[in-house]
């Protein structure tokens, strides 16, 4: 893992967007894994600007989202399909046929999960996966005790996650209880991944994921085993990390990061 500490949530999201744009420019056919949540909104905002102002081209990209709620139609304003359309897809030149999310309305949810895994495989696997982190330490909706080798499947959401997402739905009772999510194993198969976390509320869980033991109680900790994982945090989310000075030294001195400093 590489940890990059940025001064604030804006610079952290901008850096995540710049790295994503670099990946797209390096491989126009990129299979791009996408995440949702408040944190990602700033990343997508920056990508939209880069499309408008710097001709960032999504026309050949294929996207695969991490997850989708069970029981919501794509047009539902709370669905992740709707989120993606609003924050990214309809503002850039991506072909809607190349954008993929699990179908939370499938009659046979297990078949839908197998289909989603097969689809990712058919396109050669995910090249670059964007990730947020939930307050329960989850990536995608891989809640505590998710098998670290799990594949796409239906997961029941924890009370912590339901409470975290309740404001979007206007109350805890309105949040779907289940979601289809890529498994930890699916995410681990991506060639590169980038986790972005900002704000005080993520400090504890970031420290557990980055510096704590690898455990299914904090599924983001599995990323410690990923060969190419970058974690970007702002000062607030970095608050409980022990090795901050070391991470800062690496970002300031290693040639790999020169163009981003
Ligand atoms: C949801 C998503 C996760 C995301 C998390 C963080 O649980 N399924 O993929 O990482 O929200 O959301 P936020 O950025 O709003 O804190």
What is the per-residue pLDDT across 8-66, written as a single tens digit (0 to 9) for each?
A: 999 999 999 999 999 999 999 999 999 999 999 999 999 999 999 999 999 999 999 99
pLDDT bin (cut points 50, 70, 90) of residue 163 is very high
pLDDT at 159 over 90: yes
Instruction: Tell me what the mean pLDDT of segment 204-229 comes to.
Output: 98
CA 225 vs. chain centroid, Å, equals: 17
CA of 117 to the centre of ligand 1 (A): 21
CA of 254 to the centre of ligand 1 (A): 30
Strands (E), the chain: 2-6, 31-34, 62-65, 67-69, 99-100, 128-131, 153-156, 178-181, 192-197, 229-234
CA distance 136 to 205: 7
- Which atom of ligand 1 is nearest to 66's Cα? 9
What is the per-residue pLDDT across 87-101, written as a single tens digit (0 to 9) for each?
A: 999 999 999 999 999
Task: Answer whether 186 contacts ligand 1 (Cβ < 6 A).
Answer: no
User: What pLDDT, on the 0 to 100 scale, is given for residue 136?
Assistant: 86
CA distance 126 to 64: 8
| DSSP tally for the chain: helices H, then strands E | 8, 10
Please answer whether residues 104 and 72 qualify as being in contact, where contact means their C-beta atoms are separated by less than 8 angstroms: yes
Residue 198's closest CA among 73, 14, 69? 14
Please tell me the residue having the least CA distance from ligand 1 atom 11.
37
Please tell me the residue having the least CA distance from ligand 1 atom 13.
37
Please provide residue 204's backbone torsions phi and psi, each rounded to the nearest 5 degrees. -65, -45
Residue 152's closest CA among 177, 128, 185, 178? 185
Q: Ligand 1, residues 13, 81, 132, 183: which to mutate, most atoms within 8 A of Cβ?
A: 132
Please tell me the residue having the least CA distance from ligand 1 atom 7.
134
Please tell me the residue having the least CA distance from ligand 1 atom 9.
140
Task: Answer whether 212 contacts ligand 1 (Cβ < 6 A).
Answer: no
pLDDT at 182 over 90: yes
Instruction: Tell me what the mean pLDDT of segment 235-239 comes to.
Output: 98
Q: Please state, for a pLDDT cut of 90, what percent of the chain lies above it.
A: 98
- Which atom of ligand 1 is nearest to 132's Cα? 10
Please tell me the residue having the least CA distance from ligand 1 atom 10.
132
Task: Answer whether 141 contacts ligand 1 (Cβ < 6 A).
Answer: yes
Instruction: Tell me what the mean pLDDT of segment 127-132 comes to.
Output: 98
pLDDT at 170 over 90: yes
pLDDT bin (cut points 50, 70, 90) of residue 142 is very high
Give the angle subtended at the CA of 106 by the CAs of 114 and 68, to the nearest 5°. Answer: 80
Residue with tokens 């239906």: 154
What are the strands of the beta sheet with 67-69, ordered from one edge? 67-69, 178-181, 153-156
């Amino acid at each position: 893992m590489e940890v990059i500490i940025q001064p604030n949530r804006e610079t952290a999201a901008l850096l995540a967007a710049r790295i994503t744009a670099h990946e797209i420019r390096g491989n126009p056919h990129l299979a791009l894994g996408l995440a949702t949540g408040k944190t990602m909104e700033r990343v997508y905002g920056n990508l939209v600007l880069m499309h408008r102002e710097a001709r960032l081209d999504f026309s050949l990209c294929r996207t695969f989202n991490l997850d989708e709620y069970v029981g919501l139609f794509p047009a539902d304003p709370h669905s992740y399909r709707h989120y993606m359309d609003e924050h990214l897809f309809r503002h850039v030149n991506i072909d809607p046929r190349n954008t993929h999310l699990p179908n939370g309305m499938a009659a046979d949810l297990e078949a839908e999960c197998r289909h989603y895994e097969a689809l990712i495989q058919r396109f050669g696997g995910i090249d670059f996966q964007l990730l947020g982190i939930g307050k329960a330490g989850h990536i995608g909706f891989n809640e505590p005790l998710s098998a670290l080798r799990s594949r796409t499947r239906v997961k029941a959401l924890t009370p912590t996650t339901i409470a975290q997402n309740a404001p979007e739905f206007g109350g805890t009772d309105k949040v779907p209880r289940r979601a289809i999510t890529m498994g930890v194993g699916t995410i681990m198969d991506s060639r590169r991944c980038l986790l972005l976390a900002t704000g005080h509320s993520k400090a504890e869980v970031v420290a557990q994921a980055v510096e704590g033991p690898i455990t299914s109680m904090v599924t983001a900790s599995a990323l410690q085993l990923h060969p190419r994982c970058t974690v970007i945090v702002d000062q607030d989310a970095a608050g409980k990390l022990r090795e901050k000075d070391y991470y800062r030294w690496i970002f300031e001195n290693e040639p790999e990061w020169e163009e981003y400093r």
